[in-house]
Structure 1
Amino acid sequence: MSRALFAYPKQAQFGRVLPKNKIYEHTSPSPALKALFVQQIDQIVWQYKLAPETINLPAKPAVPEIQIFDITLKTAELDHDVLRCIDKAIPFPIIFQLSHDNRIQTIATYKRPSEADNNKWVIDGYFADDWQPIETPRQPLPVALDLQGLYEQLLRRLLPLPPREQEALKNHVERLAQWHGKHNEYQKLQAKLNKEKQFNRKVEINAQLRRLKTELEQLS
C-alpha cells in the first residue's frame, strides 16, 4: 500500500477538465514552457476540492481549501516547471496525482502564503511518492481537526525523512532541503575521491566525507 495514495470522499469530487489555456491566462508561460505542457501532458482534471463545505473541516488562513489534480501524462517524466506553473495559477495548496502507463505517482510542494505578501504563495521544491500500480489500494484520509492539519499530514507522507517530535512542517521541509544539499555534496566528493591519485588529497577528502556523513546522520 502506498503511503500517499488516499481515497478522497465522493462528496468532494469536482471532476472538471482544466484546459491548459486557462492556466496560461494566469501565468503567461514562456513558449518553451508551453511546449513542455504540450509534449508531456495529455489532460489535467481538477478531481477533488477539499473544503469546509465538502469534507466538513474548518479552513485556516494558510489552507482555505486543498485541491487534488489528476494529470495524465504522455511521457514518464514531468518537468517540475510545469507543476510550478499550475501551482502559480491556482491560489490554493494542490496535491497532484500523475498517471502514465497504468502507474500513478503522488507529488506536491509545500505551498503557503508569503509572509511578506498574503496575496502571493511560496512554492518550494517538489516531493514525490514512488510510482505505484494504478490499482494500488488507497487509504482513508488521515484524521485532522482542520484543513491545515490535513494538508500537513498529506504532505508529510511525501517527505523521505521522518518528522522529529513536535517538529513544524516548515522546519521539517527546511531540514530536508539541508539534507539534500549535503547529500549532493557527499556524492560529488565521493566521485572526486575515486579519481584522486595523490595520497595526501585522498586523506583530506576522506576527512571531509566523514564530516559530511556525520552531518547527514544528524539531519536524518
Structure 2
Amino acid sequence: MTFFQLPNQAKKDKSIPKNAFYEYATSKQKQLFVDVVDKIRWQYKLASDTINLEGDEVQEIQIFEISLKQRKNIETVLPIIEKAIPYHIIFIISFNDEVMLYTSQKHAHPVNENNAVVDWVFKTDWFNSTSSKYNIVLKESLDKVFSDFCFQISNNSVADSKRDLKELIEKEQKKQDLTNQINRLEAQIKRTKQFNKKQPLNSELNKLKKELIYITEHNT
C-alpha cells in the first residue's frame, strides 16, 4: 500500500522479519506477532540524507506498514517495535480496506541508547483507506514534520498546532487523567445506593465533565 505520497529518494520498501523483534518480546508477545501480524514493511526513511531536512529532537522518522491477519491486539505488539528502534516511527496499520495510523513521542533510554522509552502515544481510529484526511507535510524541520503529524492524528485544532509537542502531550495527559477520574467516579456512583451520598458524587462528576470539555475545546 502506498498510503503517503513522499519523495522517491526517501523510499525503502523493504520487508522486515517479525523475528527481528523477538528479543524484546515475552513468549506471549512473540505468539501475538505470529497470530496477529502478517507482514512488516519499512516504507520510508525521512532524514537529512533523504529529504534534506534536519531536526533537533527528531533525527529520523521511519514509516512502517504493518498488515494484519486479524484486527486485534495490535497495541500490544507496537510498543515492542517502538522499544527496539530508537528513532521516531509512523505506523500504517492495515487490515483489509481499513487503516489505523499510530505514532509516539519517545526519547532514548538513559542507560541503553539503542533502546527507546515511549512518552505518549498518538493514534487514529480505524478508517477506510480511501478516505484518509491525513498527510505528512515536509516543511521546516523533522521536528516540525513529526509534530504536525501528531497534531493531525490527535484531532486537535489548527490553533493548537501552533504550539509545541510538549504542550500537546501535557494537554492529552490532562484529558486522559480526567477521563480516568470520570470513569472511576461513574463506577462509584453505580455502586452507591443512598441518594444523599450520590448527590456530592454527581456534583463532582459534573465538575470533572465540564473541565474535560473545556480542556478539549480550548488551548489550555
Q: TM-score, normalised by structure 2?
A: 0.85
> What secondary structure is seen at the aligned counterpart in 1 of 2:71?
coil
* Residue 137 of structure 1: how far off its partner (Å): 5.4
| Structure-2 residue corresponding to 1:64 | 59
2:135–2:149 contact (8 Å) kept in structure 1: no
CA distance in 1, matches of 2:31, 2:63: 24
1:211 alignment partner, one of 204, 207, 214: 207
Supply the distance in 2 between the matched residues of 1:204 and 1:137 (Cα, whole angstroms): 44
Partner of 2:78: 83
**Equivalent of residue 189 in structure 1, options 185, 192, 207:** 185
Equivalences for residues 34-73 of structure 1 within 5 A:
34-57=30-53, 59-73=54-68
- Alignment root-mean-square deviation, CA: 2.3
Paired residues for 1:87-166 under 5 Å: 87-113=82-108, 116=110, 119=113, 120-136=115-131, 141-162=136-157, 164=160
Q: CA deviation at 1:145?
A: 0.9
Cα distance in structure 2, aligned partners of 1:111 and 1:81: 17
Q: Name 2:11's counterpart in structure 1.
A: 13
Assess, with a 3 A threshold, how the Cα gap between structure 1 residues 143 and 48 changes in structure 2: closer, same or farther.
closer
Q: Which has a greater percent of helix?
A: 2
The secondary structure found in structure 2 opposite 1:71 is strand
| Bigger relative contact order (CA 8 A; separation at least 6) | 1
Q: Is the 8 A contact 2:86 2:107 kept in 1?
A: no
The alpha-carbon deviation at position 90 of structure 1 amounts to 1.2
Number of residues paired by the alignment? Answer: 212
- Percent identity, aligned pairs only, is 33
Query: Structure 2 unaligned runs (5+)?
Result: none
Q: 1:7-57, CA deviations, whole angstroms, 9 ceiling, x for partnerless residues?
A: 2223211000000122224x2x11111011111100100111111122121
Query: What SS is found at the alignment partner of 1:46?
Result: strand
- Report SS of the residue matched to 1:7: coil
